Amino acid sequence: MNGAGSKKKFVERAIVVGALCAAVAAILMASSLYQFYLDKVYPKSKIYGTWVEQNVASYAAEEFVLSARGVAINGGIVDTQYSWDGAHLEYQMGDKVRKFKVLNEELTELQLVSEPNYQPVYHLSE
């Protein structure tokens, strides 16, 4: 009887492990499909260009460039992966996450929202 009981437990554990693996695979697949959907509906190419901080002196204005290669500041890539969902842009710069929201339908103005004290507007110049 001991041999039959241990075999039954082994089968039960194998089923549980298989179900967990299937669940993880389903979650990973759903995540990939969602990212594919975002890339098709909201292509990153719509926001490619140089973004310039507004309402500051031209010599003090911050600029960043979005391209297929990533986010560049002063000619250096600061992040190769950034997220874009049609309403928000987010990228990592050092240990900080910078998040922007779109201000218009033409996708030419972004506002920095990740800083609570200073939320400048950036305009697409190219």
pLDDT tens profile 3-31 = 677 888 989 999 999 999 999 999 999 98
Residues 57 and 116 grouped into a single domain: yes
**Whether residue 33 sits in one domain with residue 52:** no
The pLDDT tens digits of the residues spanning 49-86 come to 999 999 999 999 999 999 999 999 988 999 999 999 99
- For the question of whether the overall pTM of this predicted structure is more than 0.95, the answer is no
Q: Which residues contact 83 (CB under 8 A, 6 or more apart)?
A: 89, 90, 91
Phi, psi of 73 (to 5 degrees): -130, 125
How much is the pLDDT for 38?
75
Determine the structural domain holding residue 88 and report its residue range: 44-124
Number of domains the chain is built from: 2
* Contact criterion met (CB below 8 Å) for 98 and 114: yes
Is the same domain home to 115 and 67?
yes
